[in-house]
Structure 1
Amino acid sequence: MAFWDNLWQGQRATQFDSGSAASNSIELTKRHPSVSLSKQGAATGNLRVNLSWRMRSSDIEGRSRRSGGLLRHPFKLFKPEVVQAHTQGVVNVDLDIGCMYELTDGSKGVVQPLGSLFGDLNGPPYVKLSGDDRFGAPSGETIFVNLDHQEEIKRLLVFVYIYDQTPAFDRTHAKVTLYPSNGPRIEIELDEHAPQARSCAVFSLENIKGELIVRREVKFVYGFQAELDRLYGWGMQWGRGYKTKT
Structure 2
Amino acid sequence: MNLARGQRIKLIDLIPGGQRLNIGVSIEAAGMAIDVACFGLDAQGRLADECYMVFYNQPASPCGGVSLITPAGDQSGFTVDLTRLPATIERLTVTAAIDGPGIMAQIRQGYVRILDGSREAARFAFSGSDFANERALVLVEIYRKEGLWRLAALGQGFNGGLAALIEHFGGTVAPEPQAPPSHPPSSPPVNLRKITLEKQGQSVSLEKKGAGHGEILVNLRWRPVARARQGLLGGLLGSGRTDLDLGCLFELTNGMKSAVQALGNTFGDYFNPPYIRLDADDRTGTRAEGENLRINGQHWDAIKRVLIYAFIYEGAPNWAEADAAITLRIPDQPEVEVRLDTHRHDRPMCAIALLENDRGAIKVTKRVEYYRGHLDMDRAYSWGLQWVRGSKD
TM-score > 0.5, shorter chain as reference: yes
Q: CA shift at 1:212, angstroms?
A: 2.0
Aligned to 2:79: none
Greater relative CO, 1 or 2 (CA 8 Å, sep 6+): 1
Matched to 1:26, the amino acid is: I
Q: Give secondary structure in 2 for the equivalent of 1:114.
A: coil
Aligned to 2:136: none
Aligned to 1:35: 204
**Separation (CA, whole Å) in 2 of partners of 1:104 and 1:41:** 21
- Cα pair 2:270 2:277 within 8 Å, conserved: yes
Q: CA shift at 1:159, angstroms?
A: 0.1
**Separation (CA, whole Å) in 1 of partners of 2:350 and 2:210:** 28
Aligned to 1:185: 335
**Separation (CA, whole Å) in 2 of partners of 1:28 and 1:41:** 25
**1:30 to 1:40, Cα distance in 2 relative to 1, 3 A:** farther
Q: Deviations over 1:34-93 (max 9, x none)?
A: 11111688961001111001268xx99xxxxxxxxxxxxxxxxxxxxxxxxxxxxx9521
Q: CA shift at 1:226, angstroms?
A: 1.1
- Cα pair 1:41 1:182 within 8 Å, conserved: no
Aligned to 2:347: 197
Aligned to 1:156: 306
Return the match for 2:287 from 137, 157, 174: 137
Q: Give secondary structure in 1 for the equivalent of 2:364.
A: strand
Q: Give the fraction of aligned pairs with identical amino acids, expressed as a percent.
A: 39
Return the match for 2:369 from 212, 219, 223: 219
**Separation (CA, whole Å) in 1 of partners of 2:344 and 2:256:** 32
Matched to 2:321, the amino acid is: R
Aligned to 2:389: 240
Q: How does 1:84-95 map to 2 (within 5 A)?
A: 92-95=241-244
**1:241 to 1:108, Cα distance in 2 relative to 1, 3 A:** same
How many residues are matched? 197
**1:193 to 1:98, Cα distance in 2 relative to 1, 3 A:** same
**Structure with the larger strand share:** 2
Q: How does 1:19-98 map to 2 (within 5 A)?
A: 19=190, 21=191, 23-30=192-199, 33-38=202-207, 44-54=213-223, 92-98=241-247
**1:46 to 1:168, Cα distance in 2 relative to 1, 3 A:** same
Matched to 1:232, the amino acid is: Y
Aligned to 1:122: 271
Matched to 1:183, the amino acid is: Q
Q: Which blocks of at least 5 consecutive residues in structure 2 are unaligned?
A: 1-185, 228-238
- Cα pair 1:168 1:197 within 8 Å, conserved: no
Q: Give secondary structure in 1 for the equivalent of 2:264.
A: helix
Matched to 1:131, the amino acid is: A
Q: CA shift at 1:209, angstroms?
A: 2.9
Return the match for 1:107 from 256, 266, 285: 256
Return the match for 2:326 from 154, 172, 176: 176
**1:55 to 1:138, Cα distance in 2 relative to 1, 3 A:** same
**1:170 to 1:41, Cα distance in 2 relative to 1, 3 A:** farther
Structure 2 length-normalised TM: 0.47
Structure 1 length-normalised TM: 0.73
Matched to 2:189, the amino acid is: S
**Structure with the larger helix share:** 1
- Cα pair 2:201 2:367 within 8 Å, conserved: no
